[in-house]
Every structure is written in structure tokens, then in C-alpha cells.
Amino acid sequence: MQAAIHEGGQLFAAASLGTKGNSCMTCHRGAGRVEGMLPNGKKIPSLLGAAATFPKYNKRAGKVITLEMQVNSCIANGLGGMPLSSSGPKMVALVSYLTSLSQGKPVDIQGVKK
């Protein structure tokens, strides 16, 4: 598991997922651990605990999306890359890394009564 998390962190920091010369950390600063910023200047929250909120309803898409779908959206739209296979090694590594940022955070799924 540690190897997958490490590999995911390396992919998160690398510009190899897209064609624009950017990495995930272009928007998700501090390896996703601090508030980030989109290219248009809009602030985005840190990714701490984010994986614990998926699946979730995406108003823009008009449907429920998974963490893998969100990752692929960022790769395609933000990085100009090709979507990853949902069960491929790169996606597994990225999801492992993102999930590690939710360690100890409460699961918070929309619409589920607490």
C-alpha cells in the first residue's frame, strides 16, 4: 500500500499525465494538503478528506461521479491528458494517494443520513 501511495504522490507531482506541462499540483498546491487555486484565480479547498466525500452528485455533470471520474476530469480538462483506465495502475496509485489524504477524516457522502 505504501508503494502505491508513494507512486500516486509522484504522479500527482509529475507533468506526465497531460500535454500542457502542468501537474496536479499546478492547482492542488502543497501536494493537495493546502488550499489551491484554479488558473482563473478561483480558490479551491485542500484535498484533505476529499476522497471521503465520493461518490458525490456533480451539479455541473448532472450525475453522481466517483473519485476516479473526478481524477479523469482533472486529467482531461486541467492537464490536457488522456483519461486513465479506472482499474489501471496509474489510477490505482492516484486514488491510493488521494485516499491517504483522507486518513482519519469522517466519511461524508451526500444524501446519506447521519
Taking residues 23-34, what's their average pLDDT?
97
Share of the chain above pLDDT 70, in %: 97
Where residue 20 falls (left for φ over 0; alpha for ψ -120 to 50; beta otherwise) is: alpha
CATH for 78: 1.10.760.10
Considering only CA atoms, which of 92, 107, 9 is closest in space to residue 49?
107
Quote the pTM value: 0.91
**Per-residue pLDDT, 66:** 97
Instruction: Tell me which residue range forms the domain holding 91.
Output: 2-100
Asked whether residue 107 is domain-assigned, the answer is no
Residue 48 to residue 53: CA distance in whole angstroms: 10
